Amino acid sequence: MKACIQMLMAATFLFGSTATFAWSAPGHETVGSIADSLLVGTNAAKAVKTILGNENLQTASVWADCAKGVTEKPPLKYVVNPKFTECQPFETAAGEAQMVDFVTRNLSACMPAPGDESCHRQYHFSDVAIERNAYARSEIGTSDHDIVSAINAAIAVLQGGSSPSPISFTSKQEALRVLAHYVGDIHQPLHVAAIYLDTSGHEVDPDAGAYDPATKTQGGNKLLDQGKDFHTTKWDAIPASLTAAKFKGAVTQAKRVPPTPGPLNQWAAAWASDTVLASHTAFSGLTFGPENTTNGTWPVTEPTGYSTAKAKLQKKQLVKAGARLAQLLQAIFP
């Protein structure tokens, strides 16, 4: 009976999943490149070199998204998408086998709820309600396989320990690749916080009273801005001026980001809390229409000046992410 339910759940998430990429590849590459620059000449840079070989953090930063190219129905295999040129370094026989192995171990052990994505796809985000002022594991939208849990699992492996179930990272190479990605994601406001809406498009607080999963906007993936996915087109995409090649002064700004206080295993939660606050700016002034019940989406309208405010916040978050990735690696490899 239990196996039947598991299979049914597996089938539901396999067919019901939606694509979620936090930051586009350029956003992640910016974060990785800032960290690469900050680490020059440090012991952490030596450790990165030992673990990743010729791959730097900029290149490694997209690996966790590239692994989404592995099919999730047996037999699992990696399918090349020529659109994602950033994945080319991993598209060798050995590289593809690594991605298949990673996805196989991180597909369903977290027991995805009906309609939820497979486990490794859930490692990229949490859905803390924008009514909150901090991340806490007691809140709706958090789990033992959300972004905070995934970062902590990667830290544990890099420190020589093992990743707590249901997460399975089995080598330092894998842990560092995903860490370089997730530290980017945890600074993308819509990958940490989410708005929950009723069918009329009114904001609801999922932590107050009985929680209705139908109110979940999936980190804004179910919000449509003039027909386009608000999460992807507005927040994952970054202005050309913020790409690794063009972002002037990024490293100088990153050097000013203060270190995170407290033990390492509390840093990810602290960063998530900081991003929950950033999400208040990201959602400021947005208005929502009634749900389109045919496809389960809500229309969103931006206030005047939204794009400028958004780009400013993206810049700040990318800088913080690059700085904190470097700080974390220096703390792990002093």
Residue closer to Zn ion, measured from CB, 22 or 167: 22
As a whole number of angstroms, the distance between CA 311 and CA 234 comes to 9
> What is the C-alpha end-to-end distance of the chain, expressed in Å?
50
CB of 294 to Zn ion, least distance (A): 28
Residue closer to Zn ion, measured from CB, 116 or 291: 116
Beta bridge partners of 300: 288
| Cis before 75? omega within 30 | yes
Residue closer to Zn ion, measured from CB, 96 or 236: 236
Backbone φ and ψ of 164, nearest 5°? -70, 140
CB of 65 to Zn ion, least distance (A): 5
As a whole number of angstroms, the distance between CA 279 and CA 257 comes to 19
Total of residues contacting Zn ion (CB under 5 A): 3
Sketch the per residue contact string, 192 through 231, with Zn ion: x for CB under 5 A, - otherwise. ----------------------------------------
Helical residues (DSSP H) of the chain, grouped into ranges: 2-16, 25-39, 43-52, 57-60, 63-66, 93-105, 119-122, 147-158, 172-185, 230, 250-254, 267-283, 306-332
Q: Say whether residue 86 binds Zn ion (CB under 5 A).
A: no
CB atoms within 10 A of CB 112: 22
User: Tokens 């208040």 — which residue?
Assistant: 280
Out of 121, 124, 187, 231, point to the residue binding Zn ion (CB under 5 A). 124
Tell me the residue length of the chain: 334
202: tokens are 């009114």
Residue closer to Zn ion, measured from CB, 42 or 233: 233
- Scanning 29-37, 181-189, 265-273, 281-289 for contacts with Zn ion by CB under 5 A, the matching segment is 181-189
CB of 182 to Zn ion, least distance (A): 7
Pairing of the two strands 128-129 and 193-194: parallel
CB of 64 to Zn ion, least distance (A): 6
CB atoms within 10 A of CB 114: 11
Closest to 150 measured CA to CA, from 179, 109, 118: 179
Residue closer to Zn ion, measured from CB, 168 or 215: 168
Q: Say whether residue 22 binds Zn ion (CB under 5 A).
A: yes
Residue closer to Zn ion, measured from CB, 117 or 274: 117
- Scanning 17-25, 112-120, 166-174, 252-260 for contacts with Zn ion by CB under 5 A, the matching segment is 17-25
CB of 147 to Zn ion, least distance (A): 8
Q: Say whether residue 186 binds Zn ion (CB under 5 A).
A: no
CB of 262 to Zn ion, least distance (A): 25
Q: Say whether residue 185 binds Zn ion (CB under 5 A).
A: yes
Q: Say whether residue 236 binds Zn ion (CB under 5 A).
A: no
Residue closer to Zn ion, measured from CB, 86 or 185: 185
Residue closer to Zn ion, measured from CB, 172 or 191: 191
As a whole number of angstroms, the distance between CA 200 and CA 260 comes to 41
User: Which stretches of the chain bind Zn ion, using CB under 5 A?
Assistant: 22, 124, 185
